[in-house]
Amino acid sequence: MATHGSSLGCGVWVIDGKTEVVANEGGDRMTPAIVAYTDHDKVVGLPAKQGLYRNASNTICNVKELIGREADSEVVQNAMQNSNVKIICQGAKPFYEVDYKERTHKVSPVSVAAAIFDSLKDTADGQQRVDSHNAVICVPVSFSEQQQRDLVQAAQQASFSVLRVIREPCAALMAYGVEEECVGQTRALVLRLGGRSMTVTIVRVTGGMFHIEKDAVFEMGGNELDELLVQHLAQDYDRQWRCQCLKNQRSAFKLRVAAQQTRQVLSSMATAHCSVESLYDGIDLNTKLSRTRVEALVNPFVQKCLKAVEEVIGSAGSQLTDIEKVVVCGGVGRSPFFIQAVKDRFPSAQILSSLAGDEVIALGAAKQATLLTENNAPSAVSVEADTLPCLQTNILLRMTEDGQQEHRMLFAAFTPMPARRQYRMLLAPEQTDACLVLCTATAPNDTPEPVAKLVLHSLPPGSQVEMVCHCRSDGSLHVTCAEPTSNTSTGLTIEANKLSSS
Amino acid sequence: MWLTFEGTLPEPSADDSTCLLGTLPELTSAKFEPVGRWYEAYCVRRLRKHTLSAGSLESSSDEESEDEGIEFDEENETYLRTLDPKEWKQQDHYAVLGISKMRCDATDDQIKAAYKRKVLDHHPDKRRARGIPVKEGEKDYFTCITRAYETLGNPTKRRSYDSVDSHFDDSIPPNNADSKERFFDVFGPVFARNARWSTSKKKVPLLGDENTAFADVNHFYSFWYDFESWREYSYLDEEEKEKGENREERRWIERQNKSDRQKRKKEETSRIRQLVDNAYACDMRIQRFKDEEKAKKQAIKQAKKDAIRAKQEEEERKRQAILDEERAKKEKEEAEAKELAAAAKKEKEALKKELKKERKTLRTTVKEYDYFSSDETERLSNMEEVDKLAEMLSITSLQDLNKDLTSGDLDRAKSAFNKEVDALKDRLQKEKQAHIEASQRSAKSSSSEGSKGKGTWSEDEIQMLIKGVNVFPAGTISRWEVINNFIQQHVPSSKRNAKEVLAKAKDLQKNDQFLKADANRKAFDKFAKDTKGGATAKPEKGEISERYDSAGAVQMAETGSNPSPWSADEQKLLEQALKTFPASVKDRWDKISDSIPLRSKKDCMKRYKELVEMVRAKKAAQTAAKK
């Protein structure tokens, strides 16, 4: 039950019915998704990252970008120009060319991903509490089928048995249990700010099922933030010592690592100490950074992000107020200033950010995995969204509260069919007759159109009415109302309009 | 899961009634991510084709569906009343619960439902409430219902009850003509009935029908011969183990029960066995399969045989064709050869005739000329010469000569004759000379063959070589080097190397054993010469070497015949001599032996006879081969 982003991988395991993030040998809960090939070994994770500068031409980062891509796609062509590792194309597939064990090897992205999966698995196996290797793999919404297939293949190479592939935003929502509530309709925004990219996804949750309305990926991420920090630190250093440390590649790299660490520390602390030994010319860097200072520094970036989010919402034909829930996740998304900025932007929405930002998706996957293993559900590896029949309009029940006529949602629009709901309504004291009026409405603000009326006469006072609504897969709605103590009941079936179909 | 709405329902107006006011819009469709428990629930529903909503709502619907599909017996209270609670073991538990039609096919849920129904109707409290009299405690027939459920509700107990269910037909069809005739009707249901005792998790193979494949039938019988039944007979135990008062008694009861059960189990096994045996005996498919198998084997065998025969025939035909062709070819060749031979013979005969004529002309003309001489001896010699000429000259020269002779001019004839005679003599002389030279040359070359290379081997060297070879036998380390050293030590003038020594030694060994003997003998001479201090040294070295140049000569001198085989040169000389001296020549063999050095007259005759023998044998072999 694992996920891995473009820069970090995280394995969440279901152990004894509880989801746990298993920390790796280094004690980190996250493993950098970096694979380095050296003369004698293949290293994954932090050690690979540490050797990134020394062994740049044999250290593969960001394999997620290349996996399942065609050689002539734009992404691959870009990567070929920018990557430190030599990328060659053979057939229609890109391959990394690395020196491994003193020979030149061609490594496919799949086997690199498999190595990362393998290290996640080894980490868990080290705990000796994991007995099965069932996995749910999370992929970004933008992943094509081929990319998914390759990722699954990689997981299978690492001897995971893949139960299902799910979309990252859905996993994030599941981690917060958004789907548990099955009545009504919720529109949720999943904001994932990772190391390299930002994904904005608008998900409609109806009847406990997710429908992805809009998904957008932006090329802005934590690295950009780090760059701002690096620039700041470099200026500081320059002012102090009069040396352009960024001109030296080695120094720049060191500074970037330090900046990254500082940023992570600042996620939880108010101030952070940033120090690099012998950054340039034997002079150490030693500064203190306060969160306020950094926030001021990165504010333009955050504003840029939020603007992009607004644009996405706008293009989906919604307003900011339509969003009821916002999930902030991703490695950078955990930063308090970012969460605060989101909160400010979505005052009416519920901001879900209690879980560690970079683990959220993996936790959701773990939840899904538990569900699948418990149900023994047929594992459909394909991620393809299922097309299900669903209601076109909301079905409402007319009620009065404080003398005002109101409507309660029975079935929200886009509730998948068939569905069944049971409601229980208390009658007002002294009320002996009840009239249940069912209405339909396309939008919440429309005036509901009544479609059926159920009347119960001479009920005993203080009784309650039970209503069972059963929406069949042909679109008709069967409603029965009963008062259990007096055995009075009434029912009818509302047919779906078939004429309009032709 | 009941959801509660807050707020109140509106009051209807007086004339309101339940009615439809409109229709719902048709369904649309949307894509949903395969995530979450509601999706899973939906999938499960879709898979099972349930129309109900999921999860928590199921419990209520379960009860509704339970009664479905149960064939209850008609309510028969009188039957229940007749039951004696004490004799509960003998009762038909299924009948008691009212599911006697379903019996062993009833599921646990159905049994439970049936029991619930019975309880609702027959519970003492319910009956009391209805005013029906009820017996006290255990005596009431309701106990039977409880017992029935206790038995059937517990899987183990139900199993043991099912095992001995009296409604099960244990009978086996006999092995008789009727069973054979209606095999499938008779045995089919029996196997189907007994299949339920199988412990095998896999599907029990059934009898099938006439068209069942051989493999299936085979599988059927092998399965049924190894049939393992789960039937057990604990229900029939005579006594309850718990009844025993002490441990010994309980043990005894247990033993008793166990042996009973085993006995019954054995009977059951033998019953099944008997059934399968009967079936096997009656099954006409088995016979058919056997026949088919046999026929198949026969067919395969036949096919193989046919194939072999066809192949043989084909081969035979091919061979015949080749033979025919060859024969035709041979015949043709023979005919051609015959023709050719006939033509050649004709020609030859003509030539011979001509030759004869010419010879005759020669003789007569020369005779006419009185042999160009008046002197008796000269005439005689001329007569001889004429004979020789007639024999030796070719036809053209003969014709030329005859032309000259018959010209009538005596001088001219004589001069021509003398010229021819001289020419012939000359030729013969030359030929002889050439042969002698050739033979001498060959003899010389054979003697000097060994010394080809840098130089000839001196006697001393050869002697030392032979000695060395004897002194250093095969196996000596770098033998030829050592021998070479040895030679050089004793013959300082020798400048040879190991290779040459080796070559010479081989040559000696191979070429002529006489040479070796000769060398040895010479060694002795040398020794004698050396011991005599050179006083008796003979000056005529050449004579010695001439006399003893060959071992054959020595032999000839001593015994009058040379036993050594004929060399090619000698053979050539012999042939030449045979040609030169025709059979008509006097003392032919003396002359022949004279022309061949180192061979006596006897040798030559012997050799000639051998040759004649060989030629004859060859011809005989050829004629035999031709036939």
Q: Are residues A135 and A227 in the same domain?
A: no
What's the pLDDT score for residue B515?
65
Tens digits of per-residue pLDDT, A25-72? Answer: 766 777 778 888 888 788 887 778 777 777 778 888 777 777 878 877
Per-residue confidence (pLDDT) for residue B296, from 0 to 100? 93
Give the pLDDT of residue B57. Answer: 38
Kindly state the average pLDDT of the residues B243-262: 85
What's the confidence (pLDDT) of residue B543? 46
CB contact under 8 A, A388 and B22: no
Closest CA to B485 of B497, B474, B493: B497
Judgement on whether residues A296 and A250 belong to the same structural domain of the protein: yes
Give pLDDT, residue B340: 94
Indicate which CATH number applies to the domain containing A470. 2.60.34.10
pLDDT at B173: 85
| A267 and A379 together in one domain | no
Beta bridge partners of A440: A395, A449
- Kindly report the CATH number assigned to the domain that includes residue A88: 3.30.420.40
CA A405 to mean position of chain CA atoms: 39
The HSE-up count of residue A348 (CA atoms within 13 Å, CB side) is 8
Residues B557 and B606 in one domain: no
Of B1, B18, B21, nearest to A450 by CB-CB distance is: B21
Using the 3D structure, point to which of A304, A333, A354 is the last residue of a domain.
Answer: A354
| Residue B209 located in a structural domain | yes
A208–B18 C-beta distance less than 8 A: no
B64 vs chain A: nearest CA distance in angstroms? 16
Q: What is the pLDDT of residue B338?
A: 94
Task: Please list the alpha-helical segments (H only) found in A90-221.
Answer: 109-127, 145-157, 168-175
Whether residue B595 sits in one domain with residue B549: no
For residues A165 and B323, which has the higher predicted lDDT (pLDDT)?
B323
Note whether A257 and A291 are same-domain residues: yes
**Co-location of B138 and B197 in the same domain:** no
Residue A100: name the closest of A79, A78, A89, A115 by CA: A115
Q: Which domain holds residue A410?
A: 394-501
Any idea which of A105-114, A213-222, A319-328, B231-240 has the lowest mean pLDDT?
B231-240
pLDDT at B302: 95
Token representation of residue B575? 């042939």
pLDDT in tens, B313-322: 999 999 999 9
Domain match, A42 and A94 both: yes
3-state secondary structure of B29: strand
- The residue ranking higher by pLDDT, A8 or A232, is A232
Q: What is the ipTM of this complex?
A: 0.75
Whether B439 is covered by a domain: the verdict is no
Spacing of C-alpha A469 from chain mean position: 33
**B33:A167 CB<8 A:** yes
- What is the average pLDDT value for chain B, to the nearest integer? 79
User: In chain A, pLDDT over 90 holds for what percent of residues?
Assistant: 0
Catalogue the E-assigned strands of A120-265. Answer: 134-139, 161-167, 185-193, 198-206, 209-218
Give the phi and the psi of residue A110 in degrees, each rounded to 5.
Answer: -60, -45
Regarding predicted confidence, which is higher, B328 or B68? B328
Asked, for residue B262, whether it belongs to a domain, the answer is yes
User: Is the Cβ pair A435, B47 closer than 8 Å?
Assistant: no
Strand order in the sheet with A325-329: A209-218, A198-206, A185-193, A325-329, A350-352
Q: Closest residue of A to B50, CA-based?
A: A418
Residues A263, A340 contacting (CB under 8 angstroms):
no
Contact residues, chain A, for B6 at CB < 8 Å: 401
Closest-approach residue (CA) in chain A for B32 = A211
Asked if the Cβ–Cβ distance from B35 to A399 is below 8 Å, we say no
Residue B590 maps to which CATH number?
A: 1.10.10.60
Contact A212 B33 (CB under 8 A): yes
Write the residue in B27, B37, B52 that is nearest to A475 by C-beta.
Answer: B27
Nearest CB to A399; choose among B7, B22, B52: B7
Residue B63 — very low, low, confident or very high, per pLDDT cuts 50/70/90?
A: very low
* B9 in contact with A, Cβ within 8 Å: yes
Separation in Å, CA B170 to CA B99, B100, B173, B229, B389: 21, 18, 10, 13, 131
Identify the domain containing residue B611 by its residue range: 573-627
Decide if B302 is inside a domain: no
Does the beta-carbon distance from B25 to A383 stay under 8 Å? no
For B297-339, what is each residue's pLDDT tens digit? Answer: 999 999 999 999 999 999 999 999 999 999 999 999 999 999 9
Q: How many domains does one find in chain A?
A: 3
Q: What is the CA radius of gyration of chain A?
A: 28
Q: In terms of domains, do A223 and A287 share one?
A: yes
Handedness of CA A72, A75, A76, A79 (dihedral sign): positive
Shortest Cα–Cα distance, B124 to chain A (Å):
28
What count of other Cβ atoms lies within 10 Å of the Cβ of residue A126?
13
Count of domains in chain B?
Answer: 4
CB-nearest to A497 from B7, B21, B26 is B26
A341 and A420 housed in the same domain: no
pLDDT digits (tens, 9 = 90+) for A230-277: 888 888 888 888 877 777 777 888 888 888 888 878 877 888 888 888
The pLDDT of residue B60 is: 37
Residues A344 and A203 reside in one and the same domain: yes
pLDDT, mean of residues B51-59: 41
The reported pLDDT for the residue numbered A10 is: 63
Average pLDDT over residues B499-507: 84
Q: Which residues of A touch B42 (CB under 8 A)?
A: 209, 388, 416
- Global pTM? 0.49
Please determine, for residue A78, whether its predicted confidence score (pLDDT) is greater than 90.
no
pLDDT digits 0-9 by tens, B184-202 = 888 888 888 888 888 877 7
B24 CB within 8 Å of a chain A CB: yes
* CATH code of the domain containing A241: 3.90.640.10
Average pLDDT over residues B604-625: 88
A319, A399: one domain:
no
On chain B, the residues whose CB falls within 8 A of the CB of A436 are 9
More confident residue, A212 or B76: A212
Q: Is there a domain that residue B365 lies in?
A: no
- Residue A441 — pLDDT band, cuts 50, 70, 90? confident
A134 and A29 part of one domain: yes
Phi first, then psi: what are they for A425, rounded to 5°? -125, 135
In the predicted structure, residue B64 carries a pLDDT above the cut 50: no
Asked if B40 and A371 come within 8 Å (Cβ–Cβ), the reply is yes
Contacts of B34 in chain A (CB under 8 A): 164, 166, 380, 383-386
B34 and A454 within 8 Å at the Cβ level: the answer is no
Residue B23 in domain: no
With pLDDT > 90 as the criterion, what percentage of chain B qualifies? 9
Q: Which of B4, B24, B31, B47 to mutate to probe the A interface, most A CBs <10 Å?
A: B24
Which phi-psi region, left, alpha or beta, contains residue B103 (left: φ > 0; alpha: ψ -120 to 50)?
left
Percent of chain A with pLDDT over 70: 90
Residues A171 and A45 in one domain: yes
The pLDDT assigned to B298 comes to: 95
Across the A:B interface, residue pairs with CB atoms under 8 Å apart total 227
Distance from CA of B41 to the nearest CA of A (A): 9
For A182-207, what is the mean pLDDT? Answer: 82
For residue B452, name the pLDDT band (cuts at 50, 70, 90).
very low
In B49-88, the residues whose Cβ lies within 8 Å of chain A are 51-53, 57
Residues B104, B204 within the same domain: no
Chain B partners within 8 Å of A215 (Cβ):
none
Q: Which chain B positions have a beta carbon within 8 Å of A425's beta carbon?
A: 4-5, 8-9
Q: Are residues B188 and B278 in the same domain?
A: yes
Asked whether the beta carbons of residue B9 and residue A436 sit closer than 8 angstroms, the reply is yes
pLDDT band at B555, cuts 50/70/90?
low
Rounded Cα distance, B372 and B362, in Å: 13
CB A206, CB A409: distance < 8 Å: no
The answer to whether residue B343 sits within a structural domain is no
Of the candidates A164, A435, A440, which has its C-beta nearest B12's C-beta? A435
Q: Which of A366, A385, A404 is the last residue of a domain?
A: A385
B44 touches chain A (CB under 8 A): yes
Residues of A in contact with B36 (CB under 8 A): 170, 174, 179, 208-210, 368, 371
The CATH number linked to B83 is 1.10.287.110
What pLDDT does residue A194 have? 78
Tell me the average pLDDT of chain A. 79
Identify whether B558 is part of a domain.
Answer: yes
- Same-domain check for residues A373 and A284: no
